[in-house]
């Protein structure tokens, strides 16, 4: 988290808003005393990472077997 003085925030507001839109949180300080925080309103969803559940979830060989006829009929 970055801390920026109010004076700097006034002169670089556009850049600070762009950084907040990218997901960064910025603290505004009067001198060295924090007084406010800029945070994004709509947080971006976390990126999915391929293989994130490796070792947690396993798929057995029965997953690849054909479904029984009665169950297939329910899908039609």
Is residue 31 included in any domain, yes or no?
Answer: yes
pLDDT digits (tens, 9 = 90+) for 21-73: 998 999 999 999 999 999 998 766 778 889 888 899 998 999 999 999 999 99
What's the pTM value of the predicted model, to 2 decimals? 0.54
DSSP string, 32-72: TEEEEEE--SSPPPPPP-TTTTBTTB---GGGGSPPPHHHH
Q: What is the pLDDT of residue 52?
A: 86
Residue 39: name the closest of 21, 27, 22, 25 by CA.
25
Is residue 23 included in any domain, yes or no?
Answer: yes
Structural domain span for residue 17: 2-38
What's the CATH code of the domain at 17? Answer: 3.40.1620
């Amino acid at each position: 988290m970055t801390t920026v003085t109010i004076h700097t925030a006034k002169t670089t507001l556009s850049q600070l808003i762009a950084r907040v839109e990218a997901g960064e949180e910025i603290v505004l300080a009067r001198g060295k005393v924090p007084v406010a925080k800029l945070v994004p309103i709509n947080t971006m969803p976390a990126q999915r990472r391929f293989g994130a559940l490796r070792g947690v979830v396993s798929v057995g060989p029965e997953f690849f077997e054909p479904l029984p006829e009665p169950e297939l009929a329910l899908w039609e």
